[in-house]
Amino acid sequence: MPQPTLMKRAIAELVGTFVLVFLGTGSVVTSVVFFGGVESAALLLIGLSFGFAVLIMVYAFGHISGTHINPAVSIALWATGRFPSKDLLVYVPAQLIGAVLASITIIAIVGTRAVDAGMGGTLPGDGVNYGQAILVEGVTTFLLALTVWGSAVDRRAPAGFAGLAIGIVVAADIIVTGPIAGASMNTARTFGPLVAESLWGGPTGGATEWGKFPIYIIGPIVGAVIAGFLYEYIASLKSGGDES
């Protein structure tokens, strides 16, 4: 069967990232706007919302685009020689656009209350400094990417379980570390809400936190790349294992 064109795969990435950000950050916005905040029970539901979104999209588009829906995953696949540069240069913009469109759609549905509620964006928690936020984003994305390699990249993995495994690790990362730095693990997931906030002038009496955005570039990319190379080494994928 011929592989879908790069354009079709990019559209799948755009739609997949849209669904992730719409369902995931939408659950945060709903919790804040309609239920008054994010408590421990809401954090569980938010983690599950993100996890279910990933699970659904892996099964919907995994066979078409690979369902990266995350620039850090695409960059790590490229860094380990598993993804062409020309595809990377299309996938990442598609993911960012999908995230922005999802955030704008949330505003269209909920109104400017979503902006005042923070758009489900990611920021370091109280008492968490810049370095700690980068570290936790790196660790959580490391766990995510390790799961991606073990369940989806390695052809020896049991078939049909990638979506479940990846969705579970996303949910677990959010439940455990969400209050620390937002548990983004995904530059696009943080980018979309920031752009939408900026377009609508930012929250009332506040400012859009672009100064914290590098946390969600550095941490996820470094964590994903380390995980990719580590799994390649442990599993010997380029020396007798999976030669893809």
> pLDDT for 2-47, tens place per residue?
789 999 999 999 999 999 999 999 999 999 998 877 777 789 999 9
pLDDT tens per residue across span 165-190: 999 999 999 999 999 999 999 999 99
In CATH, what number is assigned to the domain containing residue 184? 1.20.1080.10
Judge whether 241 lies within some domain: no
Give the pLDDT confidence of 98-137 residue by residue, as tens digits.
Answer: 999 999 999 999 999 999 999 999 999 999 999 999 999 9
pLDDT at 244 exceeding the cut of 90 = no
Instruction: Give the span between the Cα atoms of 152 and 158, in whole angstroms.
Output: 9
Task: Name the domain count of the chain.
Answer: 1
For residues 122 and 215, what is the distance between their CA atoms, to the nearest angstrom? 10
* 194 is a domain residue: yes
Give me the pLDDT at residue 35, please: 84
Does residue 243 sit within a domain?
no
Q: What residues contact 126, with CB distance under 8 A and at least 6 apart?
A: none
206 touches 144 (CB < 8 A): no
Kindly report the backbone phi and psi dihedral angles of residue 30, in degrees, each rounded to the nearest multiple of 5, phi listed first. -60, -45
Residue 142 lies in a domain: yes
| Contact status, residue 209 vs residue 121, Cβ threshold 8 Å | yes
With a cut of 80, say whether residue 206 has pLDDT above it: no
Q: Say if 141 falls within a structural domain.
A: yes
174 in a structural domain:
yes
For residue 232, which of 68, 92, 77 has the smallest C-alpha distance? 77
| Residue 175 located in a structural domain | yes
Give the domain extent around 103.
6-235
Kindly tell me if the per-residue pLDDT of 56 is higher than 70: yes
Residue scoring higher pLDDT (53 or 40): 53
pLDDT score of 162: 96
138 domain residue, yes or no: yes
Q: What is the pLDDT of residues 135-152, one digit of tens each?
A: 999 999 999 999 999 999
